[in-house]
Structure 1
Amino acid sequence: MRERQWITARRSELDTLAGQLTKQLQEVQAERDELVIAERVLNRLAEQADAEAVAPVSVKVAGRAVLLIPHRGDVGDEGALPGDYREILAIVREADGPVQVRMVGERLGLDASVRGKLEPLRAKMTKLADRGWLHKRGDGRFTARP
């Protein structure tokens, strides 16, 4: 009879401990997720600082600073482009043929399954095409200009 009481008491202790450990594990996972986000933010800030070191031309429109993407013929090389635009251009150049925005987004680490995440990238690629850095084909894919 005494053994059953001990087993019941011990099981209760272990259930309590399991509950505490589960809660602690959830807290650790939540903090880890926050650190992943913080790391992404720091990486983006570092990229922006690098891009600002290159000092792309910007102007004020309606009180906001807006980067100017120069026309290809107006500058000697792509060094005048902001860092993220240079990275997009490099990915398109490395491709064997025409690329979709989704592929470039995946290479940049964007969540390509969410269409809204790709739209800002599509706008940047279109701007590069409008300025002569890329060629936008009729099917919506992009190629690098020679």
Structure 2
Amino acid sequence: MAQNLMVWMLERRVVLSECVERLRKEPADTEAEVARLEASEVVYQQYQEDADAGHPDSAAWQQALEEATGGEPAVPAQGPGATPGAAGQLLIGHHSPGSRLEGLPGDYRTIMGIVAGGDGPLQAKDVARELGLDAAPAKVESVRGKLRKSAERGWIARTPAGRYLPR
């Protein structure tokens, strides 16, 4: 009986160790997938803005999409047709005294307007709601990423509690 108990305990320990390892790996895999999706969203938004302007370059966008989604690395577009975000350009530049909102992509300008018109510090979910998005985490995280990027580049201020204010 003691021998069977010892075997059972060892087997149970191995099973639990494997379970713990799988659970440790899961958040890293999930974070990597979220990062890939965020990159894909940026590429899609750039494509949509370019298509709305009437001049999509399907070959360059296909390369950018493959790069953002884990495909073969795309060669950055060079020359006069380069769009913001291509060839290492920042989609949203650093704020300086001469910076103007008109130089930002439309969705960032809209977000800046919401933050500026707020009655106080706003959370990402408040901004998402103002944009007409539902409160699903995927929608809020997309807005949070834009808010965070805007704060890192000096366009808005971020409080220690993760709320956003105009500068």
Q: What's the TM-score once normalised by structure 2's chain length? A: 0.49
- The number of equivalent residue pairs is 94
Matches within 5 A, 1:1-146: 45=48, 49=52, 57-60=84-87, 68-73=91-96, 75-112=98-135, 114-145=136-167
Shift in Å at residue 47 of structure 1?
9.4
% identical equivalent positions: 39
Higher strand share: 1
Change (3 A) 1:115 1:88: same
Instruction: In structure 1, give the amino acid aligned to 2:52.
Output: A
Aligned to 2:64: none
Q: Do the aligned partners of 1:56 and 1:82 also contact (CA within 8 Å) in 2? A: no
Change (3 A) 1:98 1:116: same
Greater RCO (Cα-Cα under 8 Å, separation 6 or more): 1
Uncovered stretches (5+) of structure 1, i.e. residues with no partner? 1-44
Taking the aligned partners of 1:92 and 1:125, their CA distance within structure 2 comes to 9
Taking the aligned partners of 1:144 and 1:137, their CA distance within structure 2 comes to 11
Uncovered stretches (5+) of structure 2, i.e. residues with no partner? 1-47, 56-81
Taking the aligned partners of 2:147 and 2:154, their CA distance within structure 1 comes to 11
Q: Deviations over 1:81-111 (max 9, x none)?
A: 0000000000000011100111100011111
Q: Deviations over 1:44-66 (max 9, x none)?
A: x579626x9xx9733236xxxx7
Q: Do the aligned partners of 1:70 and 1:131 also contact (CA within 8 Å) in 2? A: yes
Taking the aligned partners of 2:114 and 2:156, their CA distance within structure 1 comes to 11
What is the root-mean-square deviation in Å for CA atoms of aligned residues? Answer: 2.8
Q: Do the aligned partners of 1:134 and 1:142 also contact (CA within 8 Å) in 2? A: yes
1:140 is paired with a residue whose SS is: coil
1:135 is paired with a residue whose SS is: strand
Taking the aligned partners of 1:80 and 1:97, their CA distance within structure 2 comes to 25
Q: What's the TM-score once normalised by structure 1's chain length? A: 0.56
Taking the aligned partners of 1:91 and 1:106, their CA distance within structure 2 comes to 10
